[in-house]
């Protein structure tokens, strides 16, 4: 028997990386899944493997996420958990950071999450469901050369806590996972930023044996726990999963 047998779960960013691993983990626990992503080919492959509904989603387009949530709720006949994983990363020296890149980071990583949470509210109210967002250690401690990304992820934490406070009386729980370094496509192609000072990088070998970063699968337990009934009294929290990078 699975921990999410029969539960309706929507996972964004499900075509790759953490979102794909999270979708696989929910499927293994019996969830009925709607999966969303910008990348149609990756999404179709994952959805086919898991017998899930595949929904195209571009967080850059206002209103697109709300329509996608409506489609997910219609397809699944309700919604027990909204798992927001989709996100994008951008690096630049702050002096060179273009306003368009600042806006893009805020749009995909923060405004996109706002739209999905708001659109899912009626269905989650009916189910007394849960939201699990994805922030980052960058959203807690900041990160050199990625100010827009860090600001967007800091915003996700404030959004998560504010919704937890406002929606608790409806029985809706809202939490977030803050990964540290995870080996996914988001950082795979990054070349060193010209002129960057290495000592300011958060990805230094402080990870003591974990400097390579986590596999996406290492993160899935946090999402499942926060979405499920074992965390029934947990809301407004950020679970940091960074291999002890941020302590000591
Ligand atoms: N990998 C890390 O080290 C790390 C660390 C902390 C937080 N995170 C966060 O984890 C989440 C997942 O990232 P990942 O590492 O699995 O990377 P990833 O690139 O493998 O996955 C991100 C997914 O988001 C999708 N996406 C990008 N832009 C989109 C848009 N405009 N609309 C809809 N979907 C879009 C991509 O298509 C992709 O499938 C992100 O929110 C990221 O910020 C990652």
Candidates 65, 143, 55, 76; CA nearest to 109 is 65
Query: How much is the pLDDT for 215?
Result: 95
- On the CB side of 244, how many CA atoms lie within 13 Å of its CA? 8
Pocket flag, ligand 1, residue 7 (CB < 6 Å)? no
Substitution site in 65, 87, 148, 214 for ligand 1 pocket (most atoms within 8 Å of beta carbon): 87
Q: Spelled out in words, what is the top-level CATH class assigned to the domain 8-241?
A: alpha beta
- Tokens 């967080």 identify what position? 59
What's this model's pTM, rounded to 2 decimal places? 0.97
Q: How far is the CA of 166 from the centre of ligand 1 (A)?
A: 27
Identify the pLDDT of residue 206.
55
- The one-digit pLDDT tens for each residue of the chain (248 residues) are 899 999 999 999 999 999 999 999 999 999 999 999 999 999 999 999 999 999 999 999 999 999 999 999 999 999 999 999 999 999 999 999 999 999 999 999 999 999 999 999 999 999 999 999 999 999 999 999 999 999 999 999 999 999 999 999 999 999 999 999 899 998 887 888 899 987 776 554 455 556 678 999 999 999 999 999 999 999 999 999 998 888 76
| Helix (H), strand (E) at residue 9 | strand 8-12
**What CA–CA distance (Å, rounded) separates 233 from 243?**
25
C-beta atoms surrounding 199 within 10 Å: 7
Complete DSSP assignment for 88-142 = ------GGG--HHHHHHHHIIIIIHHHHHHHHHHHHHHHHT-EEEEE--HHHHH-
Indicate whether residue 220 lines ligand 1 (CB < 6 A): no
Domains of the chain, residue spans: 8-241
Per-residue pLDDT, 205: 45
Task: Report the b/e string of 60-69 with b at 16+ CB within 10 A.
Answer: eeeebbeebb
Whether ligand 1 lies within 6 angstroms of the CB of 214 is answered as no
Residue 200: Cβ within 10 Å count: 10
Residue of 86, 136, 181, 220 with the most ligand 1 atoms within 8 Å of its CB, for mutation? 86
Enumerate the active-site residues.
149
State whether the beta carbon of 105 lies less than 6 angstroms from ligand 1: no
């Amino acid at each position: 028997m699975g921990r999410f047998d029969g539960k309706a779960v929507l996972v964004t960013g499900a075509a790759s990386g953490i979102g794909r691993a999270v979708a696989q983990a929910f499927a293994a626990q019996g969830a009925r899944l709607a999966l969303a992503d910008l990348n149609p080919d990756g999404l179709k492959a994952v959805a086919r493997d898991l017998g899930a509904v595949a929904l195209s989603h571009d967080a850059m387009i206002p209103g697109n996420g709300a329509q996608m949530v409506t489609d997910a709720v219609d397809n699944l006949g309700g919604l027990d958990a909204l798992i927001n994983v989709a996100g994008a990363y951008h690096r630049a020296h702050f002096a060179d950071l273009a306003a368009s890149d600042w806006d893009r980071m805020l749009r995909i990583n923060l405004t996109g999450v706002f739209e999905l949470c708001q659109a899912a509210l009626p269905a989650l109210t009916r189910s007394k469901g849960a939201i699990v967002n994805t922030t980052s250690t960058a959203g807690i401690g900041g990160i050199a050369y990625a100010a827009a990304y860090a600001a967007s992820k800091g915003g996700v934490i404030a959004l998560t806590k504010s919704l937890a406070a406002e929606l608790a009386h409806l029985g809706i729980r809202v939490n977030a996972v803050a990964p540290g370094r995870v080996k996914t496509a988001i950082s795979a192609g990054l070349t060193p930023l010209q002129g960057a000072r290495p000592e300011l990088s958060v990805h230094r070998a402080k990870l003591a044996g974990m400097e390579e970063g986590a596999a996406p699968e290492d993160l899935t337990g946090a999402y499942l726990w926060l979405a499920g009934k074992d965390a029934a009294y947990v809301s407004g929290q950020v679970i940091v999963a960074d291999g002890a990078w941020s302590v000591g």
